[in-house]
Structure formats: C-alpha cells, structure tokens
Structure 1
Amino acid sequence: MEKEFYQLSATSLQGKQVPMESYKGKVVLVVNTASKCGLTPQYEGLETLYQKHKDEGLVILGFPCNQFGNQEPGGRKEIEEGCLINYGVSFPMFDKIDVNGDNTHPVFKYLKAKLGGLFGTRIKWNFTKFLIDSNGKPVKRFAPITKPEKIEPYIEQLLAKKQ
C-alpha cells in the first residue's frame, strides 16, 4: 500500500527524526533548497511567508539538495549557518537529500508521484515547491522560478478552508 504524507519522516538539520505527522492540521509548503543558487534569495520570501502565516497554521519545510550544479556543497553546519545568517530562516530545515534518482528521499518520491511536473515527475532545479493542505493532501506544485509571494494566494485559500 502506498504511504500517505503523514506516514513519512525526515531527518532535521539537527539530526533528529521528524515524522511528517507532527505537521498534521497545518498547511505545508515543501521546498528543495540550495544556498549557492541564483534562486537562493527566495529564502527571504519563504521566511516572510512563514512569519506572516505561521500563526494561522502554515509550516515551510526546507530540504537542501546538491543535485543541481553543486549548489549545496556544504554539510549540516554550513547549511544551517548560511540559512540563518544570510536569510534569517526560522522554518524547519532538514538534512541534505536527493530529490531525483535512486536515492530520492521518500518525501520527494511521494510528492513527485502525486504531483508530476511539466516534464514528468523529475525535479528540474532547486526551489521546486509542493503545497500540501491541512489534511496531508498534495494540492499544487510550483516551478523553481515561482517566487514565494506568488504562492501566497494559494496558501491563504488553504488556510481559510482550514478554519
């Protein structure tokens, strides 16, 4: 039987296992991130979204990935410091993972299966975003170039439904 989002888990940047079930009832935005990418300034927009809507039930989950142009070469400490120092990221960040290929992380395997992209299920670049409603159902996939503020109306719609 296929796993649901809440049955999955991931390792935080601090090395702790985090069950996705701990985000039950929240609107979740999952993003594959990189700290040396042309799109890295999106961290700022993601943090702004998070600060604005976290009290209403939004959580953003960042998954660093080094599969695109070697743009996330660092380890946990460098990633954590880069996110914090450069962008003030306070939303949950996870261990570096693969989003494509044989070692695709289960969270991304699941999301790609549920929401294929323009070019099939493969993730094309950093900052691909997946929006999941408060019942754990993946509802929309956004391209890497889609700025976080462009996703806000979709998030607000899901948060309104949640009330």
Structure 2
Amino acid sequence: MCLFEQINKPDLATWNSLLTAHARNASASVGGINDADCCLSLGVSRLFNEMQNSRIRPNEITLVVLISACADLGALYQGMWAHAYVIRHGLKLNCYVGTSLINMYLKCGCLRLAYQTFDKLPQRDTSCYNAMIGGFAIQGNGRKALQIYENRRCISR
C-alpha cells in the first residue's frame, strides 16, 4: 500500500492490481473468514470508492473483484449494488462478471437471483455452469442441477 500511495495518478491497471491483491489476501485464509479477512474484503470496497473519487472508471475486472469481496463477506446488498452498477454503467455482463455474480448470490443464499443472472447471461462458459450446478446441488435441488448439466451437454455437442 505504501508503494501505491507514492504513485501520483494511478491508472485503471494499478487500481485493479491493488484491489485484486486485497481480495486475494482476504480469500486466501483457511478455515473460514476471520476479522482480518473481513477488514481486507471491506478494504476492497473502500478502495473501490477511492478509485471512483479519483475519476478512474471501473471496468469488468474491477467489478469481478468487488463482487467477489461482497461474496466473501456475505454482503448481499452491496453485491446487488455492484450488479446494478454493471447494468447502469453499461459494463459487459461477460462470463467472468456473470460467474462472480452467480457465486455472490449463492453465497448469500439467493438461489433465485443466481439463476436469474445465469439465465440472462448472453454467453456461458464452464465456470458459469459449474457455479449454477453446484448452487442447486448444495441447496438440495439435484434434479435442477442435473437438468442444467444435461442442457450444457446438449449445447456443447
């Protein structure tokens, strides 16, 4: 952080690097989230606000990091705000952003919102399918998980 503060005008790549470092440190712990991890995840949110104040426009990478931090914290409303930010600012709802949103909604216990997000994705990759299949399986809805798996198999043929 000290090195970052010495940069006069950090660009988008620099901000994204710092945000990613905070998020990775927060999610790297073993055995669940502790107070230090929460501080790091909250730090991502704080840094995102600083980034906006510096007039650097976030991109999809920035939002993936922010949404992942919300998922780690179980911060549903902040995650929903980030989802709305993606839509409001015309950011691309690609597989990376989509998968991070699906994971966030699932970690916050919102299976319906996770599936709505999955259903609206213009393109889905293996990570999107795995997130959604895993979400249904964890929630005890094995039939829906298998249905999505079968749909994926039919599409990939």
Q: Report the TM-score range of the alignment, normalised by the length of the smaller protein.
A: under 0.3
TM-score by length of structure 2 reads 0.24
Q: Tell which has more relative contact order, 1 or 2 (C-alpha 8 A, sep 6+).
A: 1
Q: Which structure features the higher share of strand residues? A: 1
TM-score by length of structure 1 reads 0.23
Greater Rg by CA: 2
Q: Which structure features the higher share of helix residues? A: 2
